[in-house]
Amino acid sequence: MKEKWVVPVLGVMALTGAAQEPLQVTVRADRPAHEIPKTLYGIFFEDINFAADGGLYPERIVNRGFDWRTKEPEGWSGEWRGEAMGRISLQGAWPLHPNTFQYLRVECYAPGDGAGVANGGFGGIAVTQGAQYDLSFYARRHADFAGGLTVRLETKDRQALAEYRIAKDGWTNRERQGEGGLPPEWAQYTAVFTPAQTVADARLVILLDAKGTVDLELVSLFPRDTFNGRTNGLRKDLAQMLKDLRPATLRFPGGCLVEGHDFDTMYWWKRTVGPLEGRAVNANIWGYWQTHGLGYYEYFCLAEDIGAEPLPILAAGLTCQFRAPKAVPLDALQPFIQDALDLIEFANGAPGTPWGRVRAEMGHPAPFNLNYIGIGNENWDHVFLDRYAIIAQAVKAAHPEIKIIGSAGASPEGAMFRLGWTRNTELKTDLVDEHFYQSPDWFFRQVNRYDAYDRNGPKVYAGEYACHTPDRKNNLLSALAEAAVMTGFERNSDVVETTAYAPLFNKVGNTQWDINLIWFDNTRVFGTPSYYVQKLFMHHLPDVLLPTETAGLTEASLPPSGTIGLHTWNTAAEFKDITVTGKGGETLYRFDPEKKLEGWGPASKGNWRIEDGAIVQTDESVS
């Protein structure tokens, strides 16, 4: 135990007209309580707000593998220069890899000044003068093509920043033996681009110079200067923001993203490891496609590089309960059990084991030392708890050394929350995941939340939390409210084992969730007030709790204040007989249909109106 003892003290004084007694706080250094776990403060990553592709994962080319299941090759456009003519199309025969079977075919009818395709990246390709970027792509020319191919990184007015060319006699594709009439084998072509200028809105162009057909696959432009210098690594400034926090745990890959809309879009970790050409894309639950270039191996490496314990979350045989959930029958959960067991082997197994070998072949023979695994995300009721029990007990029997995290539901209180805690306690779950996105007032009232929790039951994992002000903005008030509840985490850290603010990242202009810890665009990054509160607490984690005693602290009644709000999630609804009462039963607000929407602020989304004495919202597409 270290000699230095530090204790958090939250002082609260109500401002009234009456004279206040002096506030006296006594720190009992003679009565040290429990040691504070080093795991107390962690972070949470979910691919929401375009946090991964085009963000933390710094690939510059959007839809690089042409695998997004769209009618047209989204992110790519035909590029016909001068008198060039032709067409582009998505194909699937004789793919590079069966997991990523779509690729792009360019058919040139007249080469003009160049015939092909262009890609503008994720809102523009940002490159720095003198920096190095690895260009990589697979291509194959058909028998009818006898020309060359040029790849250009250029400004929006077609000024070249870097260029690579395959001469007409420079193709390295091998013909398929004994398979006449079929295209040759795929060949990979690579180059290093060193841009001549710094620009934020470059684009990549691929041009043919003769008639005929060429197929393209997995076109990548990737910075060499990644975080910790890793191949297929992470955007340096964003990852550094995470390391600078000094988090103890890293939860990944989500969130609701883990469960998906259905079993097709559920996050299956095995699809995200191994060579890039074999990683299947997924339709992100937040409305866009994931390449899985940032996969489970990269998450584990990130945890290692920032000094955090990995904390992966797996689905519990149940799709997202907010979105027409589907549940696997209780007698059909073995694939989910095996998925968890294989993940533990991937993380901790020897290189001679099947999944340990996959990890070793990716470049990490040593184990990742996984200690935690979460089963289920923000799930509730018996439909989840019955499935969780089967999976958790099977995993615990095989790996008693792994701490298993269950769920207390989507709300931090209420009947489902209490049921979650009851069942998890009966099951002897190691940690129970609580989530709360609440108002500043709620946060300030939760400073003592964990005072009365059972010290002999499961530990708490506050796995997602953030203070939401009425305008849903990151501001100083929300950061102060979070700081208040964090003092409660520390004081009760004998029961609260680890925590995580959520979500982590938001790309400016690509927001699905308004309140986030870190904001960025293609060239910049900045932390919110909440980021610096988290950093303050992580950098000054106490070693041991010293009890405090207070005298002269009084609580004065404040007049009621605040706002009420109405909200829908992908549904239509009506609200009527709206009444707000005080603790004494007095009416603080009652909705009067005759006054229409007087006093209500403008709606940010949806179609709201008064109808038959109720407030109705009729747009089912907004959330």
- Residues catalogued as catalytic: 378
Angle, vertex CA 607, rays to CA 605 and CA 613, nearest 5: 125
The tokens of 598 are what?
A: 């007087």
Which candidate, 498, 267, 258, 268, places its Cα nearest to that of 378? 258
DSSP labels, 334-368: HHHHHHHHHHHHHHHS-TTSHHHHHHHHTT--S--
Alpha-carbon gap, residue 356 to 360, rounded angstroms = 6
Give, in order, the Cα–Cα distances in Å from 63 to each of 70, 231, 268, 502. Answer: 11, 20, 20, 27
Say which DSSP state 584 is in: T
Q: Which residues contact 50 (CB under 8 A, 6 or more apart)?
A: 122, 288, 507, 510
Q: Say if CB 81 and CB 172 are below 8 A apart.
A: no
The amino acid at 83? E
The amino acid at 357? R
Which candidate, 168, 373, 173, places its Cα nearest to that of 269? 373
Instruction: Rounding to the nearest 10 degrees, give the CA dihedral for residues 598, 600, 604, 608.
Output: -60
The tokens of 270 are what?
A: 């095995």
Alpha-carbon gap, residue 591 to 578, rounded angstroms = 5
Alpha-carbon gap, residue 555 to 520, rounded angstroms = 41
Is residue 424 classed as helix, strand or coil in its secondary structure?
Answer: helix
Alpha-carbon gap, residue 144 to 332, rounded angstroms = 52
The amino acid at 469? T
Alpha-carbon gap, residue 18 to 565, rounded angstroms = 34
Which candidate, 261, 387, 374, 268, places its Cα nearest to that of 320? 261
The tokens of 211 are what?
A: 């008639």
Alpha-carbon gap, residue 125 to 193, rounded angstroms = 13
